[in-house]
Structure 1
């Protein structure tokens, strides 16, 4: 369970996020919606440990926050162009988690099967569609065994049919017990997948 209490963040003495509090239970999906400039991506980056907060209490399962338990799927996917699909997924588990190559590859193949990407193991990012790159990015994040998976605008560059596929994929991951946090401009998509929705608005100039 993720607990955020009274999150506050400012840039150049201007508040970006103020008094943000929520609880996300294990296995639930939360969508965070709001217009550009509302601080949605900043909130995600703080939860992922990529941005410092100015003040807040953030807990995972009631314990001191550990950003290593949070995975992120970025809007640009950030795949390594010189590595094939299997190598993209196994690099961090081998280097960071110290998994054996055999164990990391087995887990990667299992994840690719779960995400309907079997047979793409040897392809490179330039050979994949946007939707396929996104699935590889999700598999790469899941390979690190996070408790919580965050997405930054997962439907932003997708047509309506692919948006439905993303909805289905996220709901299937929920069935496996994965806790998910999603930043999105897409209100309909947010309503379709969310157990709870957090709406944020830009703060007025101080």
Structure 2
């Protein structure tokens, strides 16, 4: 279970997150919703250690941890980014294998075997030798998901996973997220799409703009 307690984050004089509390139970999905610019992605980035919180506490299964300084030999939080963040000069296989070989110290053979399994499970078994520019948006997203899963995270986070997808692909993403839940993955989904959030989530956290009118 992930717990975030009294999280605060500001950029300059603007307070983005003020005493935010989040709980995501094991094997459940939390959707974080709200208008653009209200702090949804900032919250996700703090949880993932990509932004440093000003204050607050993070716990996994009751044990405190610092997302920004956690031991990279054990992936705690995986992230599927809105813009995918695939390396354009690497093939699909190489994108997925990079972190497991460099961080987890898997052999190239081990990493490739797992990459093949992940791609097969995601319906991309014939895309391993392609480069990102040769893929559709939906295919890039699934590659980004495979790359995150290759690190065996305890919790998987998504930043606006349906923002660039048509309705048919949105349903495919919904199926993937619910399938991962069946497999036991705890997930956190940032989205502006309330309908999508309701379809996948066990719980919904709404993030709204803060009144910074009294800030200098």
1:184 correspondence with 2:195: no
C-alpha distance in 2 between matches for 1:75 and 1:83? 19
Q: How far 1:74 sits from its partner (Å)?
A: 0.6
Offset from partner CA, 1:104-141 (integer Å, 9 cap, x none): 11111111111111111111111100000000000001
TM-score (norm 2): 0.93
What's the secondary structure of 1:137's corresponding residue? helix
Q: Conserved in 2, the CA contact under 8 Å of 1:41 and 1:152?
A: yes
C-alpha distance in 1 between matches for 2:57 and 2:145? 27
Q: How far 1:66 sits from its partner (Å)?
A: 5.0
Q: Conserved in 2, the CA contact under 8 Å of 1:60 and 1:66?
A: no
Alignment partner, residue 139 of structure 1: 146
Alignment partner, residue 165 of structure 2: 158
What's the secondary structure of 1:169's corresponding residue? helix
1:175 correspondence with 2:163: no
TM-score (norm 1): 0.97
C-alpha distance in 2 between matches for 1:113 and 1:6? 41
What's the secondary structure of 2:79's corresponding residue? strand
1:124 correspondence with 2:131: yes
Q: Conserved in 1, the CA contact under 8 Å of 2:58 and 2:66?
A: no
Q: Conserved in 1, the CA contact under 8 Å of 2:38 and 2:208?
A: yes
Match of 1:69 among 64, 70, 76: 76
Matches within 5 A, 1:33-48: 33-48=33-48
Root mean square deviation of aligned Cα: 0.9
Q: How many residues are matched? A: 206
Q: How far 1:160 sits from its partner (Å)?
A: 0.7
C-alpha distance in 2 between matches for 1:12 and 1:193? 35
**Structure 1: segments with no counterpart, 5+ residues:** none
C-alpha distance in 2 between matches for 1:36 and 1:161? 24
**Which stretch shifts more, 6-15 or 127-136?**
6-15
**Structure 2: segments with no counterpart, 5+ residues:** 68-74
C-alpha distance in 2 between matches for 1:168 and 1:8? 33
C-alpha distance in 2 between matches for 1:200 and 1:122? 40
